[in-house]
Amino acid sequence: MKKYLLVIIAMALSSLGYAQDKMNYPQGIYMSLEEIENKTPSMDATLNWEKRTQGNIKMWGGNDYELTCDDKSIKKKTIKKEIFAYSDGEYMFINGFKFGLYQGYALVESIGKYLVFKAGISSDRAQQEMQLGWMFGGIVGGIQGAYLATLRFPYIVDMESGELTCVNGVVLTSLLADYEDLLKAFRSEDNAECDVIIKYLKLLNEKLDLEN
């Protein structure tokens, strides 16, 4: 009975997003993409991270994680707007605000040629319309703000250029063009939803790392 209970707990943690790949980057505050690439955080500080509830996200918008500082040595404004990313030594969280993805932090799923994560909808109106067109097609003007806040999209940041790209099935197909095995596997999937795309972006990073 105890064994089955542990399995159920593990599955629940996974569904909440805690059972992600560990980044193993030095603990601390990163103020730029270059610091992440070099594994050299600007500040050796400890922040708390907490997964936000759906209710909180619907009310205030933004991304899945909130970071706080117990001793107030790092100001709330700094955490909200100035920090680029934070690592607790195992997991890394990237600040959506730095990329026009509203407030809060997203869990980094993979780092290689691309920094891979899923986050909320863009704050840019034109980008929003494109993203919603990918997801729903046709007229999307009637979608309510609370529901919009809960939508999640796959993103990559090119570690060389710093360019942010929202990835859909078409973009992913282009990225996988030189890797027939991954492309074939992706095309065999039942859908091109966020978690499926994230899976193949992680596999692509692994493939590219092996080549370098």
Residue at token pair 């920090």: 83
Q: What is the pLDDT of residues 1-42, one digit of tens each?
A: 444 434 333 444 443 443 456 778 999 999 999 999 999 999
pLDDT of 141:
57
Q: Alpha carbon of 30 to those of 78, 84, 209: distances in Å?
A: 12, 6, 22
155-207 pLDDT, tens digit per residue, is 999 999 999 999 999 999 999 999 999 999 999 999 999 999 999 999 999 99
Single pTM value for the model: 0.87
CB 133 within 8 A of CB 112: no
| Token couple for 117 | 């994560």
pLDDT category at 139 given cuts 50, 70, 90 is: low
Torsion of CA 161, 167, 172, 173, to 10 degrees: -110
Domain count, the chain: 1
At 13 the pLDDT is: 40
**Mean pLDDT calculated for residue range 82-101:** 97
**Do the beta carbons of residue 23 and residue 90 sit within 8 Å?**
yes
Determine the pLDDT at residue 135.
Answer: 82
* Mean pLDDT of the 116-132 span: 92
46-50, 53-57, 141-145, range with the lowest pLDDT: 141-145
Give residue 133's pLDDT.
86
Confidence of residue 58 (pLDDT cuts 50, 70, 90): very high
Q: Which residues lie across from 29 on neighbouring strands? A: 43, 86
- Rounded mean pLDDT of 75-91? 97
Two structure tokens written together for 144: 């309510």
* Angstrom distance (rounded) from CA 179 to CA 112: 16
Residues 6 or more apart whose CB falls under 8 angstroms from that of 61 comprise: 102, 103, 120, 145, 149
Domain that holds residue 122: 2-211
